């Protein structure tokens, strides 16, 4: 009886420690990916949009958008797929796509600029062909805030993992 009580107290203490942590986890809709994010830097949005889930920093200066597609995006269609996403907002410039490794995933990382409402926005992110289709994450930030928030973007990318 004493052991049962003692182990329950220890378990409650571990849960309290975990709940006091600044790291939250979001399991994506297909159950293939998880996103661990620092709640002091990022907040999950409750707004409904075409994206599976959206996040923003605590000052609403940088946004993160995540989606899982039920199909694969081939390397030859990367540029046209990315350009298509921004066509309603304006014309993108300086689109660069390169290979990058993020948490054991070989991804197609992209960076581009978008002129919108007399401001320049920087978008970056990646597409990954994995289980069940393509996963995409992208970040949008005004050009003036990019240097200040690049560490948050890198931190967020570091928290995206495939669930094995």
- Is residue 3 assigned to a domain? no
Q: How confident is the model at residue 2 (pLDDT cuts 50, 70, 90)?
A: very low
Give the mean model confidence (pLDDT) for residues 28-53: 92
Residue 5 reports pLDDT greater than 50: no
Q: What is the mean pLDDT of the chain?
A: 86
Residue range of the domain that includes 149: 22-162
**Selection from 42, 39, 40, 65 nearest residue 52 by Cα:** 65
Side by side, which strands form the sheet with 42-44?
A: 42-44, 53-57, 62-68, 133-142, 119-130, 105-116, 92-102
pLDDT tens string 124-140: 999 999 888 999 999 99
On whether residue 32 sits in a domain, the answer given is yes
Residue range 67-106, pLDDT digits in tens = 999 999 999 999 999 999 988 888 899 999 999 999 999 9
Nearest residue to 143 via CA among 120, 126, 162, 118:
120
Query: What CATH number is given to the structural domain containing 140?
Result: 3.40.1000.10
Residue 139: helix, strand or coil by DSSP?
A: strand
């Amino acid at each position: 009886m004493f052991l049962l009580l003692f182990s329950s107290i220890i378990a409650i203490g571990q849960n309290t420690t975990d709940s006091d942590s600044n790291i939250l986890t979001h399991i994506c809709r297909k159950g293939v990916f998880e996103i661990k994010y620092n709640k002091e830097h990022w907040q999950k949005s409750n707004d409904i949009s075409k994206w599976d889930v959206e996040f923003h920093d605590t000052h609403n200066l940088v946004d993160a958008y995540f989606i899982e597609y039920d199909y694969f995006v081939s390397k030859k269609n990367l540029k046209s797929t990315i350009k298509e996403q921004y066509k309603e907002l304006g014309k993108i410039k300086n689109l660069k796509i390169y290979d990058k490794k993020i948490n054991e995933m070989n991804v197609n990382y992209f960076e581009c600029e978008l002129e919108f409402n007399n401001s320049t926005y920087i978008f970056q992110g990646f597409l990954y062909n994995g289980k069940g289709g393509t996963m995409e994450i992208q970040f949008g930030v005004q050009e003036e805030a990019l240097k200040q928030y690049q560490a948050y973007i890198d931190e967020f990318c570091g928290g995206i993992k495939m669930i094995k």
